[in-house]
Copies of this chain bind each other. A is one copy, B any other.
Amino acid sequence: MATPDGLFVLEGRPTAQLIADQLREQIVQGTFRPGQQINESVMAGQLNTSRGPLREALQRLCQEGILVSHRNRGVFVLELETEDIQEIYAVRESVESAAANALLDGSPEQIKATCEVLRETIGEMAKQVAVSDWQAIARLDMQFHTSFVAGAGNSRLIRIYKTLAAESRMCIVNLEVSYPRVDVLVEEHQNLLDLLEAGDRKGLLKAIKRHMQKAVEDLTERQPDQVTA
């Protein structure tokens, strides 16, 4: 939030939050492999902090669900099963549908502003597709959907979706799924944007449903014995 003078209120909760954000980014990028243990002491040393704040960060990520904790044994990176993928995308469909409905019930300005942001993200995505930067594409994919949900203006919905977005990125990166056909990906998001702009509620909801179902298929159909594309 910016003040009228363009200054920023920096009050909040930095340290543990900062560590958590950093770790989350590392995890969703695949720097930590699923099932890998995270040692408190060594990690604290690497980040040049103490075990206290790091512990808080880990606990936070545990609650988000991308880490799992076993008492007296440590925390481990979540291992995603087929079941998890289905769960994640089922919830995502529900949340995005709710956001779509709220957005279309909102003011035209709200819709317009959201579309603007989405358009920019798609532009970025197209650029990264050109250079085949999968890591960046995955990030922008999630940024698109997160911005979409954010457009609805429901802070709780946004909070919920951030976790889902992180888990989705883990699915994509860890399963080494380089999106089947990237140009299709840009098209699909453009389609969602067009439907939102047109105010086609029914079409948008259907498109969201299809988008999610397709993603689950892409992520689950191929057997895990396939290492790279």
Contact = CB atoms under 8 A, between A and B. Distances in A.
A63 to B, nearest CB: 5
A94 B98 contact: yes
Chain copies in the assembled complex: 2
A154 B87 contact: yes
Contact of A14 (B11, B64, B71, B156): B71
Contacts of A156: 65, 87-88, 91, 164
A16 interface: yes
A97 interface: yes
Contact of A59 (B56, B64, B69, B97): B56
A94 B60 CA distance: 25
13 contacts: A13-B69, A59-B60, A60-B63, A63-B64, A87-B156, A87-B157, A90-B98, A91-B154, A93-B98, A94-B94, A94-B95, A156-B164, A160-B160
A55 interface: yes
Contacts of A62: 13
Interface of A: 11-14, 16, 52, 55-56, 59-60, 62-65, 69-71, 87-88, 90-91, 93-95, 97-98, 102, 154-157, 159-160, 164
Given A13-B69, A90-B102, A91-B98, 14 more contacts: A13-B71, A52-B52, A59-B59, A63-B63, A88-B156, A90-B98, A90-B154, A90-B157, A91-B157, A93-B98, A94-B97, A94-B157, A156-B164, A160-B160
Given A55-B56, A97-B94, A154-B90, A159 B11 contact: no
B155 A87 contact: yes
A189 B70 CA distance: 38
